[in-house]
Amino acid sequence: MRESVDVLIEKYKNNLFVIAFNICKNMQDSEDVVQDTFIQYISLKKDFETEQHIRAWLIRVAINKAKNKNMTFFRRNIVPLEEYMETLTFESHESSELFETVMKLPEKFRIVIHLFYYEDYSVKEISDILRISESNVKVRLSRGRMLLKNTLKEVWEDDK
């Protein structure tokens, strides 16, 4: 027995998503697992005995793919910012506080601030690395500095 992929997707995509989400605890990874499961079904040239057999096979494949997703290098090595901060050493409490604040900036500002101040790259070098214009780098640096200034100003005012 070979069921149409469209029919199977309609019937089982939500069930497989829930199963994958219970394992991955991440919406994007769960969607990938469901998609990969159906891709594997399409590429499989096997006939199944019954629809229950197909369902059981889909569930087993989804579970295995979700477990594999959790075993990837990236997923195993994710460390929350707070734990990562504990492993770093800084010259002063202010340096630590500044780094933590930089790490909480939106990505486009955080990257240019980090490259400019921590890695000592020039504006030209950053524009080459990120493949954006030099003026865009300058704008991001300026806006990032402003966000840092406002955030740190609030923190310092709260300490007084």
Query: Residue ranges of the domains in the chain?
Result: 5-76, 81-159
Q: Could you tell me which CATH class the domain 81-159 is placed in? A: mainly alpha
Whether 5-76 and 81-159 share one fold: the answer is: no
**What letter represents residue 128's amino acid?**
D
Token pair listed for 138: 């300058």
Contact residues for 101 (Cβ-Cβ < 8 A; gap 6+):
148, 151, 152, 155
Mean pLDDT for the chain overall: 83
pLDDT recorded at residue 73: 64
Euclidean distance between CA atoms 141 and 113, whole angstroms: 6
State which residues of the chain have pLDDT below 70.
73-90, 155-160
Check residue 79 and give its pLDDT: 56
Per-position b or e across 105-134, b if 16+ CB within 10 A of its CB: beeebbbbbbbbbeeebebeebbeebeeee
Quick one: pLDDT at residue 103? 79
Look at the block and give the residue holding tokens 């990236």.
Answer: 74
- 5-76 architecture in CATH? Orthogonal Bundle (1.10)
Share of residues in the chain with pLDDT > 90 (%): 29
In this prediction the pTM is 0.50
Q: Residue 122: what pLDDT?
A: 92
